[in-house]
Structure 1
Amino acid sequence: QPPAFGFLFDVDGVLVRGSQAVPAARQAFQTLADSSGRLRVPVVFLTNAGNCLRSAKARELSQALGLQVSPEQVILSHSPLRLFNQFHQKCMLVTGQGPVEENAQNLGFKHVVTIEALRKAYPLLDMVDQSRRPKELPPPTTGFPTIEGVILFGEPVRWETSLQLIIDVLLSNGNPGAELQDIPYPHLPVLACNMDLLWMAEARMPRFGHGTFLLCLENIYKKVTGRELKYEALIGKPSTVTYRYAEYLIREQAKKQGWKSPIRHLYAVGDNPMSDIYGANLYNNYLKSARHNQVQAGVKTSLQAASPQTKDHLELRKDRDNSVESCESILVCTGVYRHSAGVPSNTEECTKETVFHGHRDFCFDPSLVKASYIVQDVNDAVQLAFKKENWS
């Protein structure tokens, strides 16, 4: 029978560790695919990575998993930005690493300025690395466009340069060569992708993520101005808009395969309680409240900007058929979350969060980091979902 469920798989710490595939990942996808290598269940890869193209991430996953993954199955942290078309005609400063300019253009942004272009236009702004300081006083910059907003795609390479130039842009209202006048507030729109404080690569301990960079930026801005840095939108896990986009792609995939049964249940498999589990549980709350005509549950009012902004032009909103009833969270022990004594029998054991690793604008609710299930690895997660769905 056609599947009535789909999977949202995190990537780092669930399917791969750095460039190496997690051993259980290939087993899981052998179970998910038929004899011709075609997936029998709709699958979306939901990662907070953003310093690459969707097509490149799809190729990486195809190689790691031993089956064909299409770019349409991949959601990077920035993918929902294609829905924010009110910013697509504005001149936006983009930060991160990798093909940030190409990513922005692929998402619909027509006028983008990179940190490197800004640095070259205003060489006196970047002063920390003495070897990069200009040897002579450069002529005044003319003709450089006024910046109208900032997109933070992911952690940059030279944090001191990006932090300095972003603050300069916000304090100068998009004209960083000007003298400091009254500090504008509210400041220019800031859209941030990927709030993960930490992520898991090949090293034995977690590595700094983009959430750590955001923490630095927020604290510098507040120290300099005495005011809070505000976000026009925060996207990527655990933001609800990202899961709504994932649900839309799951249903589109099912439609493309000719599966007539409506998708009723989603299973979100992740290794990070503060992004994967929090996000899946937050979306599960959203699904429950949506059935009672409420908009969202569990997020501070200031964060809800990400949903109303997309209200009028979200295809997924128009297309929404309300068939999905739940999004269950499954925590694996192969990444950020590790349980030294094996898989705990009680999910309460893993959710006693003593230090809040989530973003500033998400309130900490202990129930949201409590996984529906905890299993050893992604193969066990797939088997668990199959058993619950009576699927083989």
Structure 2
Amino acid sequence: MFMPSATLATTARRQLQAASHARHCLRTRWIQHHASQRKLPPLVFTFDIDGVLLRGPHTIPAARRALDMLNGANPMGVKIPFILLTNGGGVGEEARRHKLSSQLGVEIHSNQIVQAHTILKSVVHKYADKPVLVLGGRNDVVRKVAEGYGFKKAYTTLDVLAWKPEVWPFHQLTPEERASTKPVDFSQTPISAIFVFHDPRNWALDTQVIVDVIRSGGIIGGSYLDTPPPSEQQPLSHHHQPSGELEGKNKHVELVFCNPDLLWKSDFPQPRLGQGAFREAFQAVYKALVGKTYPYIQYGKPTTATYKFAEKVLKDRLEELQGGRVEQMPTVYMVGDNPESDIAGANGAGWPSILVRTGVYDPAGGPPAHTPTYIAEDVEEAVRWAIEREMGRTATSS
């Protein structure tokens, strides 16, 4: 049946008025319920960064409006705490917070940022005084991050190449790269662990060095421990065998990856290969060499360890803001663009999850692999929906 345009306009206006009235009622009931109590709001947020707040170096317009809501421009009229949980990294949290504050136009504190490698602060005590290899990023930036966490003997694959260029003769160090290296004799320096902090810039060099470290039990240049028995091969002459090699015999070198993402969203039209792709490439090479993959520890979203760590960071943030202990956490909403990391991890942690369409997830590819609590166009809609959902729950229970 045909409906005149004036009637359609009247109907739409009434619907908007009804929605506005409902929000007003929810706010009134929420304020009445909490007026006599100094309580945290009923919800807090954890946001992914790339594809949610930023796209490459550019800020997604909806992000600033969403952050304004968290800063008090919401129906509850209160500030809503949040942290940023990303599989990105490569710089220290303090440097990251300065850049994000500038990009987002909101003051971000370093204790609001959990990068892929931030969790390594919780294991640094095991390796603080032991030589470790740290991978990823440009030059020695990741080394400086590691040292900031407390790793006192952190080395890079560029250090290895400066020590012996023949380790990987297909890359010559640039003057800038050479200036970032530390002099060290790796034949006398048994590597205890390898930490892939951030996406490697030279997959070939890094794969070769990881293979050398693992197969020799930590001594780069030492004989491989998974080669045939001595009776089936020519023994090394003494002057070819590093004197520190015996210290590394039968030693398991721990291998740690901080970001499992196969893909990530930049400002390029299609997603780019991430650290997860590097892990797969390394394991394929290692398996081709020795017949099996190498055991490793995986951090980053969606791992349980990372979500538990993030929840502790969020609780610490809330206690700082409250000036006292937080006995019961508010509902934590995760807003992300990647079903495989953000949504899978949040679902596993028991958090409501909101998937946005501004990043990796493409509706044209079919339903997401992991079902979110809600799908939003962008982070602004995600925040608004979550706030109204929790206000409705609080008002109903009062």
Which TM-score tier does this pair reach, normalised by the shorter chain?
Answer: 0.7 to 0.9
Q: Offset of 1:121 from its aligned partner?
A: 1.4
Counterparts of 1:143 and 1:158, CA distance in 2? 23
Give the Å deviation of 1:77: 0.2
Distance 1:67 1:34, change over 3 A: same
Q: What SS class does the counterpart of residue 77 from structure 1 fall into? A: coil
Question: Does the 8 Å contact 2:263/2:273 carry over to 1?
Answer: yes
Q: Which residue does the alignment assign to 2:277?
A: 212
Q: 1:95 to 1:129 in 2, by over 3 A?
A: same
Which residue matches 2:236? none
Which of 189, 193, 201 matches 1:157? 201
Higher helix content, 1 or 2 = 2
Correspondence 1:1-392 to 2 at 5 A:
1=34, 2-34=40-72, 40-84=79-123, 85-98=125-138, 99-129=141-171, 144-182=188-226, 187-231=252-296, 233-258=297-322, 262-284=328-350, 327-340=351-364, 350-351=367-368, 353=369, 369-390=370-391
Cα distance in 1, alignment partners of residues 69 and 53 from structure 2: 14
For residues 179 and 331 of structure 1, do their structure 2 counterparts lie closer, same or farther at Cα, with a shift above 3 Å needed? same
**How many residue pairs end up in the alignment?**
317
SS in 2 for 1:337: coil
Deviations 1:221-253 (A, max 9, x none): 11111122111x211111111111111122122
| Identical aligned residues as a percent | 33
The one-letter code of the counterpart of 1:275 is S
2:212 and 2:146 map into 1 onto residues whose CA distance is 21
- The separation in 2 between residues aligned to 1:19 and 1:221, in whole angstroms, is 35
SS in 1 for 2:363: coil
What residue identity is the alignment partner of 1:329?
A: S
**Residues 142/42 of structure 1: CA separation in 2 closer, same or farther (3 Å cut):** closer
> Is the Cα–Cα contact under 8 Å of residues 43 and 331 in structure 2 kept in the other structure?
yes
Question: In the TM superposition, what whole-angstrom CA distance separates every residue of 1:142-195 from its partner, at most 9, and x where no partner exists?
Answer: 764111111111211111111111111111111122233435777411111011
Please state how far the C-alpha of 1:75 moved relative to its aligned partner. Answer: 0.3
CA distance in 1, matches of 2:311, 2:80: 13
Q: 1:182 to 1:254 in 2, by over 3 A?
A: closer
User: Which of these two proteins has the greater Rg computed from alpha carbons?
Assistant: 2
Alignment partners' CA distance in 2, 1:171 and 1:224: 10
CA distance in 2: counterparts of 1:110 and 1:186, whole angstroms:
21
User: 5+ residue gaps in structure 2?
Assistant: 1-33, 35-39, 175-183, 228-248
Q: Distance in 1 between matches of 2:78 and 2:283?
A: 42
**CA separation in 1, counterparts of 2:314 and 2:156?**
33
Q: Is the 8 A contact 1:331 1:375 kept in 2?
A: yes
Question: What is the TM-score of this pair, normalised by structure 1?
Answer: 0.76
Tell me, yes or no, if the aligned pair for 1:121 and 1:144 is still in contact at 8 Å: no
Deviates more, 1:330-339 or 1:26-35: 26-35
Please, what is the CA RMSD of the aligned residues?
Answer: 2.5
Unaligned runs of 5+ residues in structure 1 are 133-139, 285-326, 342-348, 354-368
